[in-house]
């Protein structure tokens, strides 16, 4: 099952203070709201706001997530260190996996055949990561993945929008 939890957000006050320097004024949410979607450097204050997220996603989504590299750090649940520790079951996958595949994987896990398990691990295998992104990266993800053919992206983005402090800076017209 896909899970997304926003663990914390940091830097909003500092980002607004930096934004105010351009106008020689006090920090203003109104100015931030007006500039959030301007682009061309007008919304660079979004780069100063970090969002820490813990997400459990299938491996095929992590491959696409790796598109986002600027202002991003991540730490992942390592299949190298964990895949041979216990048998897998249907709950370890985001979609249906043939019972014969699970049985074969478990036989190879029991036999400590690491390379064979890695070679045959379905892309729907769920992996947990803690990631740090900034609002500008999340805004790009929203714009680029909202209409993606993998419906799981909509689930991830909806979950993020429900949890962040300023969803209006991620999705234009968000109410």
Q: Does 106 share its domain with 36?
A: no
* Residues whose CB falls within 8 Å of the CB of residue 174, separated by 6 or more in sequence, listed in order: 161, 167, 168
Q: Do 68 and 115 fall within a single domain?
A: no
In a domain, 8, yes or no: yes
Whether residues 68 and 134 share a domain: the answer is: yes
Instruction: Let me know: does 12 contact 49? Beta carbons within 8 Å.
Output: yes
CB atoms within 10 A of CB 67: 11
CATH of the domain at 53: 3.30.1360.170
Any idea how long the chain is?
175
E strand spans, the chain: 3-10, 50-58, 73-76, 126-134
CA–CA gap between residue 116 and residue 137 (Å, rounded): 36
pTM score, two decimals? Answer: 0.90
Counting residues of the chain whose pLDDT is more than 70, the rounded percentage is 99
Nearest to 124 by CA among 147, 151, 87, 96: 96
Phi, psi of 164 (to 5 degrees): -75, 160
Reported as a pLDDT band with limits 50, 70 and 90, residue 41 is confident
Residue 61 lies inside a defined structural domain of this protein: yes
Sheet holding 50-58, edge to edge: 3-10, 50-58, 126-134, 73-76
**Per residue in 110-168, pLDDT tens?**
999 999 999 999 999 999 999 999 999 999 999 999 999 999 999 999 999 999 999 99
Give the rounded percent of residues in the chain with a pLDDT score beyond 90.
Answer: 78
Torsion sign (Cα): 167, 169, 174, 175: positive
Residues 88 and 158 in one domain: no
- 114 and 132 in a single domain? The answer is no
Same domain for 93 and 70: no
Q: Which domain holds residue 159?
A: 3-75+127-169
């Amino acid at each position: 099952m896909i899970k997304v939890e926003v663990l914390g957000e940091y830097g909003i006050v500092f980002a607004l203070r930096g934004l105010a320097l351009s106008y020689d004024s006090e920090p203003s949410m109104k100015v931030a709201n007006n500039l959030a979607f301007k682009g061309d450097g007008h919304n660079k204050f979004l780069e100063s706001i970090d969002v820490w997220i813990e997400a459990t996603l299938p491996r095929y989504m992590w491959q696409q997530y790796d598109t986002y590299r600027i202002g991003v750090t991540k730490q992942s649940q390592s299949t190298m260190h964990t895949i041979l520790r216990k048998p897998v079951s249907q709950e370890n996958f985001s979609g249906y996996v043939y019972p014969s595949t699970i049985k074969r994987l478990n036989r190879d896990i029991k036999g400590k055949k690491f390379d064979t398990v890695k070679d045959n691990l379905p892309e729907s295998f769920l992996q947990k990561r803690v990631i740090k992104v900034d609002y500008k990266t999340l805004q790009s993800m929203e714009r680029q993945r909202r209409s993606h053919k993998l419906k799981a992206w909509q689930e991830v983005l909806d979950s993020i929008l429900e949890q962040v402090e300023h969803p209006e800076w991620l999705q234009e017209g968000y109410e």
